[in-house]
Amino acid sequence: MAGTDLRRILLAEDSVNDAELTLTALRANRLVNEVIVVRDGAEALDYLHCRGAYADREAGHPAVMLLDLKMPKIDGLEVLRHVKTDPELRTIPVVVLTSSREEQDLVHSYNLGVNAYVVKPVDFHAFVDAMSLLGGFWAVLNEPFPAR
């Protein structure tokens, strides 16, 4: 979708099944935004900083980052800490999309500046509905911070 005005979604998810479920749910809701899938926290940071495999990617930040907490290499909380303390990245909306109902994860995420915390519904239809709300709001309705 390069060259269009559709805003990209960055999905940081190490589970192939959960990533595919998320992509299916977004497509089921007719969200045609480009979704970039990264499999761990290090790859997410590489994407955001345009380095490594993403050194030549199209400029600009994603409309939203959907971030799993339990990932290899660098976990989601560390990615969130990095994003929200970096002056170039901190305006990117971050939605934690996790299976964790642990109160400490919720509290820690909000203390680090997460924009929303969503526990992945187990039921497929509930998951599709959740993705409709998330994708529709963050990738379509929300006005992003103006590019500098």
Predicted confidence at residue 126, as pLDDT, reads 87
9-12 sheet: strands from edge to edge = 35-38, 9-12, 64-67, 94-98, 116-119
Q: Lowest-confidence range among 20-34, 83-97, 105-119, 133-147? A: 133-147
CA-only gyration radius of the chain, Å: 14
Q: Which amino acid is at 11?
A: L
Q: How far apart are alpha carbons 8 and 13 in whole angstroms? A: 16
Identify the CA nearest to 66 among candidates 19, 101, 113.
19
Q: How confident is the model over 28-77, as pLDDT tens digits? A: 777 777 899 999 999 999 999 999 999 999 889 998 999 999 999 999 99
pLDDT score recorded for residue 5: 52
Q: Mean pLDDT in the chain? A: 88
**CA angle (126 as vertex; 121, 132 as ends), nearest 5:** 105
What is the pTM (predicted TM-score) of this model? 0.87
Task: Kindly indicate the confidence band of residue 6, based on its pLDDT and cuts at 50, 70 and 90.
Answer: low
Which domains, and CATH codes, for the chain? 9-139 (3.40.50.2300)
Which residue, chain included where needed, has tokens 């994003």? 83
